């Protein structure tokens, strides 16, 4: 009885502090959906909803537990929301290699990770492909530099297209799932020119406006600052050079490039403060009108305009929701910055786009915001002095940078395998300039542009951006600026996040127990084992763990996959360096042997033809279909087999994992029954790729 009484007392202590848990339970349901091995049908979803109602009734029947009644409801709601969203965005996905004419309406222009300009097309037409099988959207990278038509125009070219690829390694980032929610059914490249088939239409007027603002900024500035300006004003990263982007990442300033909470907060905060101060100076308005609410309304309109102008990306949409909640609270005479406001913003984002739960942007932005609100609430409640008035802004900047950096560091390390050591220094030098120089100057330039006086704002804006880029360059060049870290185990990030949420949201001394699982997850991170063997889903690359790090079977080609493998290993070596680690070869082909198992990499027909000495425990990985009678005794993993397995991993204990087995039979996976080769692979390695 005492134990039950103690539990009841703890639960009753949470009354009045429950709403911040709403996005936690909603996100739990969404996370469950994405981890399911098979797609749930309507019957299963209805059963989950019914069970949640039963649990709700049971919870309500016990005194002291009634407030938990909504928890199972939110979990079920999250599961059903994610399933509904996945079905609502369903669109055809290309299921074969395509080469030929491609026509579509240009939606957006950006840059790929390899720095190539790429186009996203909708309303697509492919020669010889029925409309029912034609993807809703395709993305094409350009191999040649040329003038791109305005968004809204119908363009045509000749391109190579492929279906979206699965994870580079089992358990890794699943681009197919990401592409599914973007309705992106094919990706490829072209070396042919982009031809204009039809002039743009008015339904993409916003995209045209963004393009013209980007060109306006490029004309008004020059050098690397121009591309940076276009990126932070309209979200156009196509003119940001690769070296600047790398410097921003290494100095932990890449968040300044993405239009997110910082930019939206700085812009709306500047508009709010400027209008409020101006109205207060007018004697016939200040004492008589609700100046604070007028300024909040104007800032809200400015934020919406920025959302539209910047292209409405998910990060910008999330930031607008957060500032809308904040200024909405001002209009309703409530505290603007609270954990309730953060929770409400998170709920709105998750209801609108449940898949955003898996994105680094969502996780990092809400982690930083939650930690900042909690930290400053604790400082305010503890009446901790921040020093004399003249230094309080500097102290607040120092605290906010340190808290936000600490909150997002584990998430950034998990997603990007990189820990910048001088991020705090870089942010202290760059963020004030962004807030006090760049944002006000950008607003001034856009306001004066109709009068032809935009140079008044563009000049200081350029100086501020050049300063930020210089800080990024100098900090990135410092010795030991970053450390590479290996990818964590699949359980570590959820456990760390759950522990920190308990530590922040729970009321009472028991909140300290949340720190324990978070610390355990961090301590176990370095011991997370990496696969000793990795095989790319294209058959174009094999990687094995050598004493000095991952050894790769090729020095060139498959660069994206090679980079992902090395990053997940926490290895800073280049692909060429990793290829020199592979010492053992047979007939000129890279070979790996372990406990009677022999794996060789033979990309291309000529190299595959050189494989003649095989036994029934030999595996040959190749990029071409074997000819009849060739490598007869070997198990040949060629593209047709790899389409059934996806990428393959073998851990130190001899357990086999395939990307297909971990992804399961979901809407975004093109499920195929196991072939004879896949069953033989199971027999050789002693585990079944489902």
Q: What is the pLDDT of residues 564-609, one digit of tens each?
A: 999 999 888 889 999 888 877 766 678 888 767 788 888 888 888 7
pTM score, whole prediction = 0.86
How far apart, in whole angstroms, are the C-alpha atoms of residue 12 and residue 18? Answer: 11
Tell whether the model's pLDDT for residue 360 goes beyond 90: no
Cα separation, 515 vs 497, whole angstroms: 10
Q: What is the pLDDT of residue 665?
A: 84
Half-sphere exposure of 618 (CA within 13 A, CB side): 17
Helices (H), 390-454: 392-416, 423-433, 439-448
* Token code pair at residue 171: 């358990």
Q: How far is CA 618 from CA 603, 615, 676, in A?
A: 16, 6, 15
d(CA 404, CA 570): 23
pLDDT of residue 412: 85
Largest separation between any pair of C-alpha atoms in the chain = 95
Question: Do 325 and 343 meet the contact criterion of CB atoms below 8 Å apart?
Answer: no
pLDDT in tens, 427-481: 888 888 888 888 888 888 888 888 888 888 888 999 999 999 999 999 998 888 8
Phi/psi at 262 (nearest 5 deg)? -65, -50
Residue 690: per-residue pLDDT: 40
- For 304-328, how does the pLDDT look when each residue is reduced to its tens digit (9 = 90+)? 888 887 766 667 777 788 888 888 8
Range with top average pLDDT, 55-64, 418-427, 562-571, 674-683? 562-571
């Amino acid at each position: 009885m005492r134990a039950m009484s103690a539990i009841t007392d703890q639960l009753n202590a949470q009354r009045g502090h429950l709403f911040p848990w709403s996005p936690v339970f909603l996100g739990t349901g969404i996370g469950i959906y994405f981890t399911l091995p098979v797609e749930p049908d309507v019957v299963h979803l209805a059963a989950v909803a019914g069970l949640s109602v039963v649990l709700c009734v049971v919870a309500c029947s016990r005194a002291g537990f009634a407030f938990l009644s909504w928890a199972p409801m939110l979990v079920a709601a999250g599961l059903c929301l994610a399933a509904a969203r996945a079905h609502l965005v369903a669109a055809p996905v290309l299921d074969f290699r395509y080469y030929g004419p491609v026509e579509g309406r240009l939606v957006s222009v950006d840059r790929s990770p390899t720095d190539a300009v790429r186009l996203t097309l909708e309303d697509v037409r492919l020669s010889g492909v029925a409309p029912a099988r034609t993807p809703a959207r395709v993305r094409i990278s350009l191999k040649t530099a040329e003038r791109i038509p305005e968004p809204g125009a119908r363009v045509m070219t000749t391109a190579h297209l492929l279906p979206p690829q699965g994870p580079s390694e089992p358990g890794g980032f699943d681009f197919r799932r990401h592409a599914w929610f973007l309705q992106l059914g094919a990706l490829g490249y072209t070396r042919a020119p982009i031809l204009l088939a039809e002039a743009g239409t008015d339904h993409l007027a916003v995209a045209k406006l963004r393009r013209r603002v980007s060109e306006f900024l490029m004309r008004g500035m020059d050098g690397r600052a121009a591309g940076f300006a276009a990126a932070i004003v309209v979200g156009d990263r196509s003119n940001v050079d690769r070296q600047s982007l790398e410097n921003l990442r290494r100095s932990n300033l890449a968040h300044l490039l993405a239009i997110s909470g910082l930019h939206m907060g700085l812009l709306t905060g500047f508009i709010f403060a400027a209008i409020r101060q101006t109205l207060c100076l007018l004697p016939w308005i200040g004492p008589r009108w609700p100046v604070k609410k007028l300024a909040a309304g104007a800032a809200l309109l400015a934020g919406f305009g920025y959302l539209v102008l910047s292209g409405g990306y998910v990060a910008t949409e999330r930031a607008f929701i957060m500032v809308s909640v904040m200024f909405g609270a001002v209009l309703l005479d409530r505290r603007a910055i609270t954990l309730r406001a953060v929770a409400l913003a998170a709920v709105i984002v998750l209801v609108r786009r449940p898949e955003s739960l898996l994105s680094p942007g969502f996780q990092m932005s809400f982690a930083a915001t939650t930690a900042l609100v909690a930290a400053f609430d604790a400082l305010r409640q503890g009446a901790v002095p921040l020093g004399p008035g003249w230094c309080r802004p500097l102290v607040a900047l120092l605290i906010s940078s340190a808290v936000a950096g600490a909150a997002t560091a584990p998430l950034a390390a998990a997603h990007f395998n990189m820990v910048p050591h001088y991020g705090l220094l870089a942010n202290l030098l760059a963020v004030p300039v962004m807030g006090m120089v760049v944002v006000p100057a950008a607003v001034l330039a856009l306001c004066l542009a109709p009068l032809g006086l935009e140079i008044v704002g563009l000049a200081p804006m350029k100086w501020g951006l050049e300063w930020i880029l210089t800080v990024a360059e100098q900090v990135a060049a410092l010795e030991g600026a970053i450390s590479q870290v290996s990818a964590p185990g699949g359980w570590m990030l959820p456990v760390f996040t759950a522990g920190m949420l308990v530590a922040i949201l729970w009321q009472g001394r028991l909140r300290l127990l949340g720190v324990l699982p978070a610390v355990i997850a961090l301590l176990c991170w370095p011991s997370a084992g990496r696969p000793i063997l990795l095989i790319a889903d294209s058959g174009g690359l094999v990687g094995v763990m050598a004493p000095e790090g991952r050894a790769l079977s090729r020095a060139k080609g498959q660069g994206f996959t090679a980079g992902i493998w090395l990053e997940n290993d926490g290895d800073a070596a280049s692909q060429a360096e990793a290829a020199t680690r592979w010492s053992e070869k047979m007939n000129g082909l890279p070979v790996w042997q372990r406990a009677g198992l022999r794996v060789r990499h033979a990309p291309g027909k000529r190299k595959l033809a050189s494989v003649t000495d095989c036994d029934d425990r030999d595996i040959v990985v190749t990029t071409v279909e074997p000819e009849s009678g060739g490598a007869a005794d070997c198990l040949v993993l060629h593209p047709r087999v790899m389409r059934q397995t996806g990428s393959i991993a073998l851990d130190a204990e001899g357990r086999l994992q395939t990307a297909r087995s971990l992804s399961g039979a979901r809407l975004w996976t093109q499920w195929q029954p196991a072939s004879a080769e896949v069953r033989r692979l199971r027999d050789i390695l002693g585990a079944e790729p489902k």
